[in-house]
Amino acid sequence: MPSREQCLKALDTYKGAVLEAAHSLGLSRHQFRRILKNLNMKTSNGFSYEKWRNRGTTQIEINKGLVIRAPDNFDLFKSSDWHAGSESCYYQGLKEMVDAIHDDKRARGIFGGDQMEITPPGRHDGGRNSDSFIDGQLIRTGKALEPIKEKIDLIYGGNHGKPRLTSVGIDPDLLLASSLGVAYSPVPTVVRYVMPSGILKVCGGHGKNASQDSLRELRRLREIYPNCDIYHLGHDHSLFAEPDGAMEYDENGDEFWSPAWMCRTGSFLRYGDYARYGLMRPKPTGYLIAHIRKAKVASIEVVKV
| Residue 135 pLDDT exceeds 80 | yes
**At a CB cut-off of 8 Å and minimum separation 6, what does 170 contact?**
none
Going from N- to C-terminal start, the domains of the chain cover 4-53, 66-304
pLDDT > 70: percent of the chain: 87
pLDDT of residue 212: 61
Mean pLDDT of 103-113: 96
In this structure, the number of other CB atoms found within 10 A of the CB of residue 1 comes to 10
Confidence of residue 30 (pLDDT cuts 50, 70, 90): confident
Q: Is the pLDDT of residue 8 over 50?
A: yes
User: What's the confidence (pLDDT) of residue 40?
Assistant: 44
CA distance 257 to 237: 30
pLDDT of residue 38: 46
Please give the distance of CA 128 from its chain centroid, rounded to a whole number: 24
Q: What is the pLDDT of residue 16?
A: 66
The string of DSSP codes covering 72-130 is SSEEEEEE----BTBTTB-HHHHHHHHHHHHH-TTEEEEE-S--B----TT--SSS--B
Q: Helix, strand, or coil here: 175?
A: helix
Hey, which residues does 230 pair with through a beta bridge? 202, 261
Which pLDDT score, from 0 to 100, does residue 246 have?
Answer: 82
Interval 284-288 mean pLDDT:
95
239/263 Cα distance (integer angstroms) = 7
Looking at residue 232, what is its pLDDT? 97
Question: What are the C-alpha distances in Å from 272 to residues 60, 128, 140?
Answer: 34, 7, 22
Rounded average pLDDT over 102-115: 95
Q: What is the pLDDT of residues 141-158, one digit of tens each?
A: 999 999 999 999 999 998
Angle at 219 between CA 218 and CA 225, to 5 degrees: 90
Cα separation, 289 vs 78, whole angstroms: 6
Using the predicted structure, report yes or no on whether residue 32 has a pLDDT greater than 80.
Answer: no
Distance of alpha carbon 25 from alpha carbon 32, whole angstroms? 9
Give the list of residues 6+ apart from residue 125 with CB closer than 8 angstroms, or none: 117, 119, 160, 161
User: For 109-113, 185-189, 212-216, 262-266, which range has the lowest pLDDT when averaged over its residues?
Assistant: 212-216
Give the pLDDT mean for 292-305: 96
Least confidently predicted of 18-22, 59-63, 210-214, 256-260:
210-214
Span 127-135, average pLDDT: 78
Which residue, among 65, 70, 112, has the nearest Cα to 218 in the 3D structure?
Answer: 112
| Better-scored residue on pLDDT, 60 or 72 | 72
Q: What is the DSSP string of 193-206?
A: EEETTEEEEEEE--
Percent of the chain with pLDDT over 90: 48
B/e letters for 208-219, b = 16+ CB within 10 Å, e = fewer, are eeeeeebeebbe
What is this structure's pTM? 0.79
How confident is the model over 160-195, as pLDDT tens digits? 767 667 767 788 888 999 999 999 999 999 999 999
| The amino acid at 74 | F
Quick one: CA dihedral 93, 94, 96, 101, positive or negative? positive
pLDDT of residue 210: 63
pLDDT of residue 44: 44
Confidence of residue 27 (pLDDT cuts 50, 70, 90): confident
pLDDT given at position 33: 74
DSSP category for residue 171: -
pLDDT in tens, 207-261: 987 666 888 999 999 999 999 999 999 999 999 999 998 888 888 888 988 889 9
Best CA proximity match to 191, nearest among 175, 206, 205? 205
Overall fold of domain 66-304: Purple Acid Phosphatase; chain A, domain 2 (3.60.21)
